[in-house]
């Protein structure tokens, strides 16, 4: 075969990859074997593999071979004009540079047949002793270390939250929440037949006096809240407020579900509410933000008296953690990989928060400088739904305040901007475009 025809062979392999006949992670034949199979010279096979690598379709690993790589992300739109490609500033999927390589190294021991066999066995809600010790260490801070015996494991953080709510609130019961809260809690409540009751907040979060007044007027069964890096407002509760709220929970005999999924970005924050009221708080967290949404493990730190009902809720909902995910997470915690990834994400989040502050300067934007999201109270001429529609016409997705509203009253004219998913370059251009839209009038951005 003429050497210039190596591209024809590369095209055939590329077609197999595009059609799914070769999948990400599949190992290509060694180059000599590939040459024999296709009736080409070894030198031509070398050029075929180099061409596939140039196209971003394969990656060579020294000593292991050549593998089909995951599809590269599409290039971001220019954003100067309305675009078909979508820049996602709704969902937050932080990925640290180089984290896949770090995680892959940690998985290598799991490829041994005996280790893999053990990791693929089913688990109970209390996981494994090694996982309990590892996660207890992960959650620990200078002033607090949880009891590993109180940890239960779920497939993800949402399942941990749902199990905690199911254990605390009967069908038809009342769950106190912040007026603006994590949207998934509404779907959890609807599935369980639970009513959400907004609890008044101030600049630190839930007001203990307001919680007590609501409970006195019509008893609540539990409270759900986010004391550290509240989503979407970015508020972090002070230690004094946590102590006051913990005392109020104890006085009222009320339990709380604490969502700490973003707390890893603020290692300087006070200890979790669970540290102040260990008998009244179920702490829930997960690895979806710390690592990646595709390989998750959720966990719940549960007061001893609630262990059985939370575990039963996890079992009945099919929400138990998988052995493979939990074993991988345990190894990543133990060998320092997770700590390295978290440090990288803290640095990345801070850089993106600075970028948002620069590009949206002059607007009513509130954000924690460590967070992967910010809260934007729009100029008076804009309604949230109108702004979301205008942004969408430029290929940018943002989340209106109504998505976070727990009550039936009107949501503020605000949007949450997620900063984690696009590249910094695409993020910067998207923020510039949003600023231009906000400076204009709604009629200037109406659909033609």
For 79-109, the pLDDT digits (tens) are: 444 444 589 999 888 988 888 888 888 888 8
**Which pLDDT score, from 0 to 100, does residue 82 have?**
43
- Count Cβ neighbours within 10 Å for each residue of 376-402 and write b for 16 or more, e otherwise: bbbeeebebebbbebbeebbbbbbbbb
Task: Say if residues 353 and 370 touch (Cβ distance below 8 Å).
Answer: yes
Q: Cβ of 317: how many Cβ atoms within 10 Å?
A: 16
**Which pLDDT score, from 0 to 100, does residue 211 have?**
98
Helix residue ranges per DSSP H, 272-399:
273-276, 307-316, 323-334, 337-359, 384-393
Tell me the per-residue pLDDT of 58-78, one tens digit each, with 9 for 90 and over.
887 656 688 888 654 444 443
- β-pairing, 151-154 vs 298-301, is antiparallel
Phi/psi for 180 (5° steps) reads -110, 120
Walk along the chain (448 residues) and give the pLDDT tens digit of each residue. Answer: 454 578 889 888 988 888 888 888 788 999 989 999 988 988 898 889 988 888 788 887 656 688 888 654 444 443 444 444 589 999 888 988 888 888 888 888 888 888 888 878 889 999 999 999 999 999 999 989 999 999 999 999 999 999 999 999 999 999 999 999 999 999 999 999 999 999 999 999 999 999 999 999 999 999 999 999 999 999 999 999 999 999 999 999 999 999 999 999 999 999 999 999 999 999 999 999 998 877 789 999 999 999 999 999 999 999 999 888 899 999 999 999 999 999 999 999 999 999 999 999 999 999 999 999 999 999 999 999 999 999 999 999 999 999 999 977 778 999 999 999 999 999 999 999 999 999 998 876 654 4
Per cent of the chain over pLDDT 70 is: 94
Determine the Cα–Cα distance for residues 53 and 30; give it in Å rounded to an integer. Answer: 15
Nearest to 178 by CA among 209, 157, 212, 202: 202
């Amino acid at each position: 075969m003429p050497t210039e025809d190596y591209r024809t062979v590369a095209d055939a392999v590329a077609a197999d990859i595009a059609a799914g006949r070769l999948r990400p992670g599949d190992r290509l034949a060694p180059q000599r074997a590939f040459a024999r199979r296709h009736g080409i010279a070894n030198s031509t096979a070398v050029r075929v593999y180099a061409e596939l690598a140039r196209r971003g379709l394969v990656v060579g690993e020294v000593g292991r071979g050549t593998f089909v790589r995951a599809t590269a992300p599409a290039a971001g739109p220019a954003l100067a004009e309305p675009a078909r490609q979508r820049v996602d500033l709704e969902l937050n999927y932080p990925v640290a540079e180089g984290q896949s390589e770090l995680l892959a190294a940690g998985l290598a021991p799991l490829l041994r047949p005996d280790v893999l066999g053990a990791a693929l066995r089913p688990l109970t809600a209390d996981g494994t002793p090694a996982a309990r010790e590892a996660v207890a260490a992960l959650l620990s801070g200078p002033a607090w270390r949880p009891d590993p015996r109180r940890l239960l494991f779920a497939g993800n953080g949402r399942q941990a939250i749902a199990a905690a709510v199911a254990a605390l609130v009967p069908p038809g019961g009342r769950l106190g929440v912040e007026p603006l809260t994590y949207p998934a809690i509404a779907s959890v409540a609807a599935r369980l037949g639970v009513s959400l009751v907004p609890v008044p907040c101030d600049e630190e979060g839930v007001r203990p006096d307001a919680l007590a007044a609501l409970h006195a007027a019509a008893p609540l069964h539990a409270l759900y809240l986010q004391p550290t890096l509240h989503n979407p407002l970015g508020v972090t509760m002070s230690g004094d407020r946590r102590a006051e709220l913990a005392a109020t929970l104890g006085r009222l005999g009320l339990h709380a579900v604490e969502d700490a999924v973003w707390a890893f970005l603020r290692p300087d924050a006070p200890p979790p509410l669970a540290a102040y009221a260990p008998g009244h708080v179920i702490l829930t967290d997960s690895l979806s933000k710390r690592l990646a949404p595709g390989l998750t493990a959720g966990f719940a730190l549960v007061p001893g008296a609630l262990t059985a009902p939370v575990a039963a809720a996890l079992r009945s909902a099919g929400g138990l953690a998988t052995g493979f995910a939990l074993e991988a997470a345990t190894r990543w915690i133990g060998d320092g990989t997770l700590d390295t990834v978290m440090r990288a994400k803290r640095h990345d989040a801070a850089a993106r928060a600075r970028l948002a502050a620069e590009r949206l300067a002059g607007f009513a934007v509130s954000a924690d400088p460590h967070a992967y999201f910010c809260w934007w109270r729009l100029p008076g001429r804009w309604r949230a739904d109108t702004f979301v529609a205008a942004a969408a016409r430029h290929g940018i997705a943002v989340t209106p305040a109504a998505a976070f509203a727990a009550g039936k009253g009107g949501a503020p004219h605000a949007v949450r901007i997620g900063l984690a998913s696009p590249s910094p370059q695409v993020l910067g251009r998207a923020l510039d475009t949003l600023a231009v839209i906000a400076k204009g009038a709604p009629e200037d951005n109406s659909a033609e």
